[in-house]
Structure 1
Amino acid sequence: MFDNILEQQRIEKANEFRKININPYPHFLKKEMSIKEFKNHFFYVVDSESKRDENSFSTIAGRLKLLRIAGKSVFANIEDDESNLQIYFSKDSIGEDYFNFLKKNLEVGDIVLVKGFPFVTKTGEFSIHVQELTLASKAIVPLPEKYHGLTDIEQRYRKRYVDMIMNHEVRRDFYLRSKIVSLIRVFFEKKGFLEVETPMMHPIAGGANAKPFKTFHNALGVERFLRIAPELYLKRLIVGGFEAVFEINRCFRNEGMDLTHNPEFTTIEFYWAYHNYKDLMDLTEELFAMLLKELNLELKIEFDGHMIDFSKPFERISYKEALKKYGNLQEDLIENKEKILSKLKQDGFEANEKLDLGHLQAELFDHYVEDKLINPTFVTEFPISISPLSRRSDSNKDIAERFELFICGRELANGFNELNDPIDQYERFLKQVEAKNNGNEEACEMDEDFINALGYGMPPTAGEGIGIDRLVMLLTNKKSIRDVILFPAMRPINPNTKDKT
């Protein structure tokens, strides 16, 4: 560890500080303001006659990003979490001995605390004239010289801390993510929803069709599953008497990774008694309008090479009509298993002959429709067989009162009228158990306690889930989910491969 020559040299320089009784890792340091605040507070010197105010001192801190020694003076650039500023010090301002010491032992990457007054250099750059400089933390590992030029983008994800040091745009994106989550929380609170927290470890894998992560609870001596979704617990709360609840938290699915999937991801799920899925679609449109306004985004935004138009009401189209309109598929094919199987095989897609009609229609949708839904589109009236927790339509028993929101070919939200008939739910679970026994690892398991809860009566309720990560991707124009997750899942590093970051 820290065994290359540059790291060893930096360790030696840290020890040079110790030799003069300066701890290279001190504590109890206080800065009076951020760099941004310093700029805002003292920028008046730019327009002053003297171009300086030697009577106004302040203490700021930041990481050295640039260091230029010019004989008897030093110009450097420090950066904190929001901004950067040029600093200047000389042998006259901090003392000749200490100045000479810092010239030898201070390096790019070190974090410093400086006290000084605002002034403008001869080249017109607003700066701080340093009178006192304290080393706040000695950096042992050198920063990359040209981090923007790295071709191995995975190193940015593996060492996010370096990515954030070198790219302020990355920090900005995660600030924006935090703001988006905060805005969503306030939006639902203002609508009268109660924020709750439900278990992350479940005795039964359920709430959505997905393969779970397994763990073991030593104290209880039982197997547990990291939650796939909070749905069944949130609906228990509706049974218990809450009429509007939401939860923003993590979910886990033991599945593949790609540009839009990470095994650990963030969602908001919300449930609203005495409302229906059409109310949820209205609410979702209102949520997007609020986000665009509060984030100062235009009603037409760019994402992945497309212009997404939020200026019009979101399109609402049924599942079958979407297959016809966007998939260019005829109704006689859509309603015929054999014709669907033939179409899929003809076009080179895998086709499982054991699938029922609803699941085969879902195959058609995935291959021929989804990537064509560019502008915000609510697809409604899903096949009931692919909607095990949704309420069945009163007018058509094969249809679920459900929708999904698609933007730029990606699903962002899923909502439906909740199934509150305990007998129907029990029968649906039985079919899911049968599917699981037939090899479908993603099928739901039987949750008898949830059935029992429904037996006490759940009012008419609509519920929805929105993927926070994909939403942030959309609003920050990021193509990969890894760009909006601070520490995404990564494959282990081969110990025989040298880490060059």
Structure 2
Amino acid sequence: MKAAAQFRSTMNRTIRTFFDDRGYTEVDTPSLSPTLIPEATIENFSTRFENPFMPSTDLYLIPSPEIYMKQLIANGFGSIYQISHCFRNSEQLGHIHNPEFSMLEYYTMDADEQDSIRITEELLTSLLDPSAPEDLKPPFARITVEKAMKHFTGIDLGQHQRQASLANEARKLGLSVPDEPESWEETFNRIFLTFVEPNLPQDKPLVLERYPSQIECLAKQDGWYRKRWELYIRGIEIANCYDEERDERVISDYYASEYAKLIQNRSESGSVIPDTDPDLATTFARMPQCSGVAIGLDRLQMVLMGKSDLQGVILFPLSDMLNSGYTRNL
């Protein structure tokens, strides 16, 4: 494990040098927040601030530093980056999952998602030595979600823009789709996670780009696609990127939709419903043109070290901490 700690130290130092040399400002934003961006698919850790001189306040561990980094961008900080710890509850403990994880997030001003591909290629190159295997080296291979779906399933997404139509295609592939309608995104995910993601080529790092607009997020829309990509290395999702949406109405509508879904989901499960800041949409709409990338550093380190499990990367995985006697095995 000492080798993993040394690798992480060197990796983080190289990341900081990479962005510092390009004029980015490193920031350090809170891990505890009284409000969060509403995200219906993410369960949050909650705690409570107690003070004898103030009212008690609910606080949440952030699932991403986005909520604070975008506020800095809106207030003129320019291109910024951060290495932080993030937290997501109710997720599996597994070889590529840990509820607490390290994230690198960076925002580039006057850039779109295509510019971010080049920057991320340069970043990965800076982390590799010349003898690194070819399946780790840029340039990235690239494929659209539409082409990937067509290649691995035969489904032409352009012809199946309605949930009922896509559900029929899923059933033809042998998948079970509920008779009671689910969302287009839910049906898409059934197909994608079963037939596409496991079969993505692994001979080069792969950018999967132009996600369908029905998969709601705050990446700008371009026709019936969104200006978003995800990076896979050795078949593992490593990064997510948007050309950031800056239209206040679009942002506000998205947050209202996510919050409504969040309330429905949490009322059924009984889990925590985090507070949200009603002024976020107004604030985020003040951002200049920019593109943001989030990279899971634990997973990145895992693939760079040639490992297939976070157990060899994270010094104190939660799965082990929950078992007695872990300190004896370091």
Query: How far off is 1:446 after superposition?
Result: 4.4
The one-letter code of the counterpart of 1:421 is: D
The one-letter code of the counterpart of 2:298 is: D
What CA distance in whole angstroms lies between the structure 2 residues aligned with 1:324 and 1:364? 11
The one-letter code of the counterpart of 2:284 is: L
Judging changes above 3 Å, is the alpha-carbon distance between structure 1 residues 426 and 314 closer, same or farther for their aligned structure 2 residues? same
* 1:414-425 equivalence runs, <5 A: 414-425=240-251
Match of 1:435 in 2: 261
Counterpart of 2:103 (choices 257, 262, 267) is 267
SS for the counterpart of 2:319 is coil
The one-letter code of the counterpart of 2:191 is: L
Aligned length: 315
SS for the counterpart of 1:389 is coil
Structure with greater contact order relative to length (CA < 8 Å, sep ≥ 6): 2
Judging changes above 3 Å, is the alpha-carbon distance between structure 1 residues 478 and 189 closer, same or farther for their aligned structure 2 residues? same
What CA distance in whole angstroms lies between the structure 2 residues aligned with 1:286 and 1:334? 37
Identity %: 28
Match of 1:371 in 2: 198
What CA distance in whole angstroms lies between the structure 2 residues aligned with 1:427 and 1:500? 50
The one-letter code of the counterpart of 1:189 is: D
What CA distance in whole angstroms lies between the structure 2 residues aligned with 1:423 and 1:232? 18
CA RMSD, 1 decimal: 2.7
* 1:219-258 equivalence runs, <5 A: 219=51, 220-254=55-89, 255-258=91-94
Judging changes above 3 Å, is the alpha-carbon distance between structure 1 residues 321 and 430 closer, same or farther for their aligned structure 2 residues? same
Match of 1:392 in 2: 221
Structure of higher CA gyration radius: 1
Contact (CA 8 Å) 1:432, 1:444: kept in 2 or not?
Answer: no
Judging changes above 3 Å, is the alpha-carbon distance between structure 1 residues 483 and 433 closer, same or farther for their aligned structure 2 residues? same
Match of 1:452 in 2: 282
Judging changes above 3 Å, is the alpha-carbon distance between structure 1 residues 332 and 185 closer, same or farther for their aligned structure 2 residues? closer
- Range moving further from structure 2, 315-324 or 267-276: 315-324
Query: How far off is 1:484 after superposition?
Result: 0.5
- Range moving further from structure 2, 256-265 or 322-331: 322-331
Query: How far off is 1:350 after superposition?
Result: 5.4
The one-letter code of the counterpart of 2:281 is: I
Instruction: Determine whether 1:401 maps to 2:227.
Output: yes
Contact (CA 8 Å) 1:198, 1:234: kept in 2 or not?
Answer: yes
User: Which blocks of at least 5 consecutive residues in structure 1 are unaligned?
Assistant: 1-169, 301-307
Contact (CA 8 Å) 1:292, 1:299: kept in 2 or not?
Answer: no
What CA distance in whole angstroms lies between the structure 2 residues aligned with 1:188 and 1:269? 11
Match of 1:214 in 2: 46
1:406-463: CA deviation from partner (whole Å, max 9, x where unpaired): 12221100011111111110011111122123326799974313123135x2111110
The one-letter code of the counterpart of 1:268 is: L
Contact (CA 8 Å) 1:433, 1:444: kept in 2 or not?
Answer: no
Match of 1:156 in 2: none
Contact (CA 8 Å) 1:401, 1:416: kept in 2 or not?
Answer: yes
- Structure 1 length-normalised TM: 0.58
Instruction: Determine whether 1:197 maps to 2:28.
Output: yes
- Range moving further from structure 2, 170-179 or 250-259: 170-179
- Structure 2 length-normalised TM: 0.86
What CA distance in whole angstroms lies between the structure 2 residues aligned with 1:425 and 1:289? 34
Query: How far off is 1:475 after superposition?
Result: 0.6
SS for the counterpart of 1:249 is strand
SS for the counterpart of 1:485 is coil
The one-letter code of the counterpart of 1:224 is: L
Instruction: Determine whether 1:287 maps to 2:123.
Output: yes
SS for the counterpart of 1:411 is strand
